[in-house]
Amino acid sequence: MRNPFIAGSWVRGDNFFGRSGLLRDILDGSRDSLWVIGARRMGKTSLLKEVEARTQASKETPYLALYWDLQGSADARGLADGLIASIEDNEHFRRAADIDIDAIEDLSVTDMLQAVIRRAVRSGWKTLVLMDEGEELLTVARNDVPTLGRLRRVLQKGPEVRSVITATRRLARLDEAAALVTSPFLHGFLPPIYLTPLDLEETSALLARGGFSEAAVSAIAEKTGSQPFLVQLIASRLFENKDLEGTLDVVANDDMVSNFFSVDHQTLEPIERRILEEVARERSLAPADIGSALSTPSDTLGPHLLGLAQMGYLKQAGGKYSIGNWFFETWLRRQSLNRGAAAESQALRRF
């Protein structure tokens, strides 16, 4: 039997697990503008790819979905290039909306998007725009604020278009970065919906593909906090070497995993990073204790704690917060030790 786990690449169809509530919100919910917020490697791309696949397979849906990867767009031209590449990649969309690439290729991104939406409406469809790597809009905001404003108008035009953006917390800085004369870009996309870790049932369904023992399934779910990338990575390695202890140890010390935590950590606000360091050091803390450790009233910390818990950085039990998964906790503690050691050697040198 081939290794059934996929660590890294996006998944859809039979390889996609869980997220039924989110899928319902996107496909059947009442909001036409949604921002799905999620930590890195939480499955944002897979969620959008699954939405795209489901709309393509459904006979009832009123939507024609278009997956649009924003990364590397940087400005109006880059956005247009990315959009046209997405349409070229999506034969189902082109055929159903009767799109002629040559006819729209030279338009600006907003005109192109409008033309696409019009074509879809004429063919009896609503357009479901699925924008991945939404953080790229921060770069667009730095380079080309007017385009951002025009884009907002098209994306929030009304019932014939539904827009979904996936991004990390960093996207929240967009409205500070882009001082739009009209409404702020994220205005209609708020409040965001959180892409949380999988629940236990979903994790177990995913791990069932490996034929692991119940004990191994519980251990993986517990150590990873059901973070989907870590679950897939550990399951994939375990499937190969059948040694759970060894696998956990190797993954905890893996440079690739450390790099992932390091980059992910950088997407958080400074106050959030301090909360995580404090909780990692004490293993488990009540909100009031976190507040006093950071000299900040605990009610000010409330939204941060809630957000961190939703994204899987923290978990809550018995009124106390602890770090969302063992690997991340190990990494945080190691970072703290390294910083301590570096400070000590600097002090010694000064002495």
Partner 1 sequence: MRRAIVCSLFMGLTLSSAPATAVDEWKELYLDARDKDLKNGHFEDAVKHLTQAIALRPASSLGERTYSLEFFDYLPNYQLGRAYLGLGRRADAIASFRAEERQNFIQRIASDYQNLKRLMKEADDKENQEAVRRLRRDFDKLIADAADLDNRDRIEEAIVKLGEAGARARNLDAAAQARVTSMLEGLRQKQTARETEARLEREREALRRDLGEARTLLNSGRPRDALVKFDAILKGDPGNKEATDGRRDAQERIRATTTRELRVKDLEEGRRLFESGAIDEAIPLLTEAATDPSFTEALLLLRRAQDLSAQRKRQRESERRIGEIRRDILGLIDANRFSEASTRLNLLLGLLPGDPTATKQLADIDERNARNILNVLLGDRELPALTFVAPKLARTETKEDTITVSGVATDDRGLAELTFRSGARVVYSEDLTESDEERAHSFDVPVPLTQGLNRVVISVRDRKGRRFETYFEVDRKPTLVEHPYFYPMVAACAFFLVGAGASVYSVRRRRALRNRFNPYIAGAPVLSNAMFFGRKKLLSRVLNMIHANSLMITGDRRIGKTSFMHHLKMALSGDDGTEFKFFPVSVDLQGVPENTFFHTMMSEIVDAVDLAPETLTELRYRSESDDYDDRDFSRDLQRVITDLKGRTEKKVKLALLIDEVDELNEYSERVNQRLRSVFMKTFSENLVAVMSGVGIRRSWKSEGSPWYNFFDEFELSGFSRDEAEELIRTPVQGVFRFEDEAVERILNASDLKPYIIQKFCIHAVNHMIEDERSTIAVRDVVAVEALVLSDESVAPRISTPASDQPVL
**Nearest CA-CA partner of 149 in 104, 108, 192, 121:** 108
For the bound state, the minimum distance from the C-beta of residue 40 to partner 1, rounded and expressed in Å, comes to: 6
Q: Minimum distance from CB of 331 to partner 1 (Å)? A: 15
Following DSSP, what letter does each residue of 197-227 receive, concatenated?
PP-HHHHHHHHGGGT--HHHHHHHHHHHTT-
4, 29, 184, 188: residue in contact with partner 1 (rule CB under 8 A):
4
Count of residues that bind partner 1 according to CB under 8 A = 51
Work out which of 20, 28, 59, 319 binds partner 1, going by CB under 8 A: 59
Residue 335 CB, shortest distance to partner 1, in Å, is 16
List the one residue from 57, 103, 200, 263 that touches partner 1 (CB under 8 A): 263
Whole-Å CA distances, 67 to 56, 91, 164, 331: 12, 12, 10, 34
77 binds partner 1 (CB under 8 A): no
Q: Among 57, 103, 106, 123, which residue sits at the site for partner 1 (rule: CB under 8 A)? A: 123
- d(CA 39, CA 307) in angstroms, rounded, equals 10
Record the tokens describing residue 159, joined without a space: 């019932």
Name which position in 24, 77, 122, 339 contacts partner 1 (CB under 8 A). Answer: 122
Token pair 């503008």 is found at: 33
Position among 170, 209, 273, 274 found at the interface with partner 1 (CB under 8 A): 170
Burial track 244-264 (b if 16+ CB lie within 10 A, e otherwise): beebbeebbeeeebbebbeeb
Contact 140, 75 (CB under 8 A): yes
Among 29, 315, 49, CA closest to 191: 29
Write the CB contacts of 276 (distance below 8 Å, at least 6 apart in sequence).
265, 268, 308, 313, 314, 323, 332
Q: Is 182 in the site for partner 1 (CB under 8 A)?
A: no
Q: Which stretch binds partner 1 (CB under 8 A): 192-200, 253-261, 284-292, 343-351?
A: 253-261
Answer yes or no whether residue 81 interacts with partner 1 by CB under 8 A: yes
User: Which token pair is 272?
Assistant: 């959030």
Query: Does residue 70 interact with partner 1 by CB under 8 A?
Result: yes
Stretch that binds partner 1, among 80-88, 106-114, 143-151, 279-287 (CB under 8 A): 80-88
Contact string 6-45 vs partner 1 (x = CB under 8 A): xxxxx----x------------------------xx---x
CA-angle at 271, arms to 269 and 273, nearest 5°: 70
**Is residue 331 within the footprint of partner 1 (CB under 8 A)?**
no
List interacting residues with partner 1 (CB under 8 A).
2-10, 15, 40-41, 45, 52, 59, 62, 67, 69-72, 81-82, 84-85, 88-90, 96, 98, 121-125, 132-133, 135-136, 138-139, 170, 233, 236, 240, 254-256, 259-260, 263
